[in-house]
Amino acid sequence: MEQAGESRIAQPRDRVWRALNDPEVLARCLDGCKSMTPVGDGEYEAEVGAKVGPVKATFKAAIALNDVVEPESYRLDVEVKGGAAGFAKGSALVNLEDVTGEDGDETLLTYEINGNIGGKLAQIGSRLVDAAARKTAARFFERFKVDFDTA
Amino acid sequence: MASETGIGASVKRKEDARFITGAGNYTDDINAPGQTHAVFVRSPYARARINGIDTAAAAATDGVVAVFTGADLAADEIGDLPCGWLVKSKDGSDMVAPPHPPIATEAVNYVGEPYAVVIGETLEAARNGAEAVDADFEERPAVVDLATAASADQIHESVPNNQAYDWELGDKAATDAAFDGAHHVATVDIVNNRLIPNAIEPRAALGEYDAAAGTYTLHTTSQNPHLERLVLAAFVNVAPEARLRVISPDVGGGFGSKIFVYAEETAVIWAAGKVRRPVKWRAERSESFLADAHGRDHVTTAQLALDQNGKFLGLRVKTKANMGAYLSTFASSVPTYLYGTLMAGQYTTPAIYVEVQSLYTNTAPVDAYRGAGRPEATYVVERCVETAAREMGIDPAEIRRRNFIQPGDFPYDTPVALTYDTGDYEASLDKALGHIDYAGFGARRAASESAGKKRGIGFSCYIEACGLAPSQVAISLGAGVGLFEVGEVRVDVTGSVTVVTGSHSHGQSHETTFAQIISDKLGVPFENVTVLHGDTGRSDYALGTYGSRSLAVGGSAIIKATDKIIAKGKKIAAHILEAQEDQMDFADGTFTVVDSNQSITFGEVAFAAYVPQNYPLEELEPGLSEKAFYDPPNFTYPAGAHICEVEVDPDTGVVDIVDFVAVDDFGHVVNPMIVEGQVHGGLAQGIGQALLEHGVYDDAGQLLSGSYMDYTMPRADDLPSFTVDTTVTPCTHNPLGVKGCGEAGAIGSTAAVMNAVTDALGVASVPMPATPETVWRAASARGSSAEGAERGE
């Protein structure tokens, strides 16, 4: 599974960077995220409820931020062990770039996601997982953009 | 009476009343008081080392009775699942089989391999427990691609090059010489696609342990309960044979996939002894996809050498066969003795050389599936023949005719170890050509062309060896068991008859067919005959059902027992009628003194045998019950001609099978209706392989075709109304003159369909399954390099 996308955010880059490193923001924006607990430097444990096709389960995800270049880019590695439902592994390369908008400094966020799934998730959901991942990413950035207004 | 219910009559099936009213008694219908439920925890990885399994949370889950891992089985000295057929490599060395613990211990090697089993008070509790099992896996690169498996990462420590064996059959030098002198050589590259069996009833098991008696009873969906018992006792060490009873009640389809001794049934019966309560398991369909033995999965290059007249001079076949991650119960025999031996087909090809390299991959084990080796062989031979005919400009029917073994040539020794006893291949082909109206094909093709469609016709003149098997031949070739069958005919006091067969029916209709035989031979009313099967507690050791053997081998055992009944009946009748035994005649249920009007009915003789008042007790034991073992002297060789006509829409790639004719020679037929049903089912499966079915793993070894969303089973609207007919050359070496009809449809049809599809498109080859996308690509690429096709033209 591979996909890429971008999102333009009407906030200066350092603010976007801070938000991207704030587990509470990440937890608010990620669909189905029930908790996001820091467990170390740049490492988190999250509980995420997800549904791929007919497979619906709460997954425990280990999240780690790697290759961090502040305030420019990082790689978000996610590993999910779903027990009987299988597993998912993936990483998202996130890159921030300054752009000039009508009302001042804005940020262009680009991302590349790749990952794979196994077990029942793959058996039942492989044809659905791309769409599910795309939807999850889109929802995340939708919320992420507006989260600055509410935060 | 005999005419309506005897041999040759299309008697309605005795089984159907209970099946169609939902009164069948399947394994999952059986419940034992106090039973628990098993759920298997399965690997999500195609290949991983198990660093540890934490079962504490699972064991503490509400309603969980026990959690077992491979270590628990090992501690109880439960043995590995064995492969029952030893195949040797070219160099004389034994095949290499990796250890196959029922529950994985150190590593998992395919997605779906069980690594723990949770026993719960309820299914729900067991499922919850299974969710809580926490295993620490260290994922390793999966070996998935068959073509490159020999040079990939080594999967099992004990198996170099991932190779089970590198086998050969035939005369290499003679075959090379035949090619040296050839006028033309036709070459085909073939992928025989992996199939997933999908019996309508998933596998199931109910294990019970009687602590007072120290005995185990396993109800399960086995095609051969005695084999299951033998393996569980002798190799797996669950219990001694005499303390283990295996019962296969009604079973909803097997197609080979229920021959094998699997991890789950093994764990269930063992666990019943551990928890001292009955343990029940029934596979979910998802589990069936993952963990039933799959079928086919070959990569082959084959060459046919011909002279200028289209006479076959030699055939060379090189095949890689996928064994999956472990060697299943009979896996080794399928791409060897059930495959290489069939390469002569119906033809006089004088020199044949077959090489088969069987390899392990991180996929589900592959074993026999309806036809088992013979569909793959037929596909090789008939694709070669069709390709040669096209390349040499010879009519495909004509090229076959020029090469058929002729009726006067039997018994015929092939260059690949078989002796065909009888056949008339041209008779079947002629009949099939008539049914399909071959002469009118040109006009039909022109009509399709003018409608923007492409029409094609494809032949498959298949042969198969079934009625497995002559024990001494099989054992000399590596079989670990004899392959005879047992039949018992118990005449009741009132003259009704109970037949016990070691053969098992899971769709074959033994209760009907075998009752017809008894009714015919003993003159007993059909409805007074009851056939019992599928229970090691009822029949002697026997080998069960596979390889289209039930009638040819199991039926012959019943005939032998019936002959003993008649012989004893004559003694009794002679005593009562005060005649000599050799003066007694028996026909239509009546013993008659030759050339007299003195007679006594079968029922009267039976009564006398059990109420022995006027009876020669000093010379003859009372009772009228006989048993016989039958070991076939040879295989039987059903053969036939399948012709398929397709119309392809080049814009969409959709293949429409507009006509399908199957003319088969099954020898004598006991129940034509049942035989026709068997042929229909086989054709559906063969056509399914050609057009629809495909077991697909991704590069990481994840099963992508793991549900009916992604694995396409043939449905009624995918199939035409078949034209099914027969010719008859009776088998020369069994008492009924019967061959076997269970697999023929699946063996012959696939090649006919693909020959028709390639004929329609005018391309050399289209990969299976010929889905609309594949066909569309092949049609679009015609004349250029065919992307997605096996061989660009």
Question: Is B538 in the same domain as B655?
Answer: no
Cβ-Cβ contacts under 8 Å, B286 against chain A: 120, 123-124
Return the HEC string of B777-790. Answer: HHHHCCCCCCCCCC
Q: What's the token pair of residue B492?
A: 């009741």
Cβ-Cβ contacts under 8 Å, A119 against chain B: 42-45, 111, 702
Rounded Cα–Cα distance for residues B695 and B534 (Å): 31
Rounded Cα–Cα distance for residues A25 and A144 (Å): 8
In a domain, B79, yes or no: yes
Rounded Cα–Cα distance for residues B141 and B149 (Å): 12
Q: Tell me which residue range forms the domain holding B535.
A: 2-22+484-630
**In this predicted structure, what is the pLDDT of residue A151?**
54
In a domain, B158, yes or no: no
B44/A contact by beta carbon, under 8 A = yes
A102/B contact by beta carbon, under 8 A = no
B134/A contact by beta carbon, under 8 A = yes
Integer-rounded Cα Rg, in Å, for chain B is: 27
Question: Is B647 in the same domain as B730?
Answer: yes
B709 and A83 within 8 Å at the Cβ level: the answer is no
Nearest to A84 among B111, B131, B709 (CB): B131
In a domain, B187, yes or no: no
Given a cut of 90, whether residue B383 has pLDDT beyond it is yes
Rounded Cα–Cα distance for residues B72 and B62 (Å): 21
Rounded Cα–Cα distance for residues B793 and B551 (Å): 46
Query: With the CA atoms of B756, B722, B465 and B538 taken in that order, what torsion angle do they form, in degrees rounded to the nearest 10?
Result: 150
Beta bridge pairs of residue B458: B644
Average pLDDT in the B613-633 region? 97
Cα within 13 Å of Cα(B382), Cβ side:
32
- Summarised one tens digit per residue, pLDDT across range B68-98 is 999 999 999 999 999 999 999 999 999 999 9
Distance from CA of B285 to the nearest CA of A (A): 11
Amino acid, single-letter form, for residue B760: A
B706 and A123 within 8 Å at the Cβ level: the answer is yes
Distance from CA of B707 to the nearest CA of A (A): 6
Phi, psi values for residue B541, rounded to 5°: -55, 130
- Summarised one tens digit per residue, pLDDT across range B656-677 is 999 999 999 999 999 999 999 9
In a domain, B310, yes or no: yes
Question: Is B453 in the same domain as B564?
Answer: no
- The set of residues, in sequence order, having a beta carbon less than 8 Å from that of A129 and lying 6+ positions away, is A1, A52, A117, A121, A122
List alpha helices for B618-743, DSSP H: 672-691
Beta bridge pairs of residue B358: B165, B321
Question: Is B607 in the same domain as B640?
Answer: no
**Please, which residues 110-129 of chain B have a Cβ atom closer than 8 Å to chain A?**
111, 127
Distance from CA of B712 to the nearest CA of A (A): 14
Cβ-Cβ contacts under 8 Å, A82 against chain B: 44
**In this predicted structure, what is the pLDDT of residue B487?**
97
Given a cut of 80, whether residue B596 has pLDDT beyond it is yes
Cβ-Cβ contacts under 8 Å, B698 against chain A: 122, 126
Question: Is B592 in the same domain as B694?
Answer: no
Exposed/middle/buried for residue B335 (C-beta within 10 Å: 0-12, 13-18, 19+): buried
Average pLDDT in the A102-130 region? 87
**In this predicted structure, what is the pLDDT of residue A103?**
81
Average pLDDT in the B623-629 region? 98
Cβ-Cβ contacts under 8 Å, A116 against chain B: 700, 702
Nearest to B101 by CA among B120, B122, B117: B117
Percent of chain B whose predicted confidence (pLDDT) is above 70 = 98
In a domain, B745, yes or no: yes
Q: What is the mean pLDDT of chain A?
A: 87
Question: Is B18 in the same domain as B122?
Answer: no
Nearest to B702 among A82, A84, A118 (CB): A118
**In this predicted structure, what is the pLDDT of residue B711?**
97
Cβ-Cβ contacts under 8 Å, A2 against chain B: none
DSSP E strands, chain A: 2-9, 33-40, 43-52, 55-69, 73-81, 87-101, 104-118
- Summarised one tens digit per residue, pLDDT across range A68-83 is 999 999 999 999 887 7
Average pLDDT in the B437-445 region? 98
Average pLDDT in the B719-737 region? 97
Following DSSP, what letter does each residue of B549-595 receive, concatenated?
Answer: -IIIIIIHHHHHHHHHHHHHHHHHHHHHTT--GGGEEEETTEEEETT
Residue extents of the structural domains in chain A: 2-150
B42/A contact by beta carbon, under 8 A = yes
- Summarised one tens digit per residue, pLDDT across range B40-59 is 999 999 999 999 999 999 99
C-beta of residue B279 within 8 angstroms of C-beta of residue B35: yes
**In this predicted structure, what is the pLDDT of residue B38?**
98
Amino acid, single-letter form, for residue A146: V
**In this predicted structure, what is the pLDDT of residue A81?**
80
Q: What is the CATH number of the domain that holds B502?
A: 3.30.365.10
Q: What's the token pair of residue B386?
A: 């069709």
Phi, psi values for residue A111, rounded to 5°: -140, 150
Residue linked to tokens 């094609």? B456
C-beta of residue B647 within 8 angstroms of C-beta of residue B453: yes
Average pLDDT in the B405-434 region? 97
Question: Is B743 in the same domain as B669?
Answer: yes
Distance from CA of B154 to the nearest CA of A (A): 22
Phi, psi values for residue B135, rounded to 5°: -110, 140
Domain boundary among B630, B651, B673: B630
- Summarised one tens digit per residue, pLDDT across range B529-586 is 999 999 999 999 999 999 999 999 999 999 999 999 999 999 999 999 999 999 999 9
Question: Is B491 in the same domain as B591?
Answer: yes
Rounded Cα–Cα distance for residues B353 and B490 (Å): 49
Integer-rounded Cα Rg, in Å, for chain A is: 15
Nearest to B44 among A118, A124, A127 (CB): A118
Cβ-Cβ contacts under 8 Å, A121 against chain B: 44
B131/A contact by beta carbon, under 8 A = yes
Whole-angstrom CA distances from A114 to A3, A17, A130, B23, B701 are: 6, 21, 10, 52, 18
- Summarised one tens digit per residue, pLDDT across range B673-715 is 999 999 999 999 999 999 999 999 999 999 999 999 999 999 9
Question: Is B332 in the same domain as B385?
Answer: yes
Average pLDDT in the B757-784 region? 91
Nearest to B416 by CA among B782, B634, B231, B171: B171
Q: What is the mean pLDDT of chain B?
A: 96
Q: Domains in chain B: how many in total?
A: 3
For B183, other C-beta atoms within 10 Å of its C-beta total: 13
Distance from CA of A112 to the nearest CA of B (A): 21
A127 and B709 within 8 Å at the Cβ level: the answer is yes
Rounded Cα–Cα distance for residues B69 and B46 (Å): 19
Q: What is the CATH number of the domain that holds B127?
A: 3.90.1170.50
C-beta of residue B489 within 8 angstroms of C-beta of residue B499: yes
Residue linked to tokens 């009628």? B577
Nearest to A125 by CA among B48, B710, B771, B202: B710
Distance from CA of B57 to the nearest CA of A (A): 12
Domain boundary among B630, B651, B683: B630
B707/A contact by beta carbon, under 8 A = yes
**Please, which residues 78-117 of chain B have a Cβ atom closer than 8 Å to chain A?**
111
- Summarised one tens digit per residue, pLDDT across range B235-293 is 999 999 999 999 999 999 999 999 999 999 999 999 999 999 999 999 999 999 999 99
Percent of chain B whose predicted confidence (pLDDT) is above 90 = 97
**In this predicted structure, what is the pLDDT of residue B782?**
66
To the nearest 10 degrees (0 to 180), the angle between helices A120-150 and A13-20 is 130
pLDDT category of residue B442 using cuts at 50, 70 and 90? very high
B706/A contact by beta carbon, under 8 A = yes
Q: What's the token pair of residue B415?
A: 């260059």
Rounded Cα–Cα distance for residues B732 and B742 (Å): 19
A84 and B41 within 8 Å at the Cβ level: the answer is yes
In a domain, B177, yes or no: no
Distance from CA of B606 to the nearest CA of A (A): 60
Question: Is B546 in the same domain as B438?
Answer: no
Distance from CA of A133 to the nearest CA of B (A): 17
B44 and A86 within 8 Å at the Cβ level: the answer is yes
In a domain, B695, yes or no: yes
Distance from CA of B125 to the nearest CA of A (A): 14
Cβ-Cβ contacts under 8 Å, B43 against chain A: 119
In a domain, B161, yes or no: no
B133/A contact by beta carbon, under 8 A = yes
CATH 1.20.120.420 is right for the domain spanning A2-150: no
- The set of residues, in sequence order, having a beta carbon less than 8 Å from that of B544 and lying 6+ positions away, is B222, B223, B224, B225, B226, B227, B259, B502, B503, B504
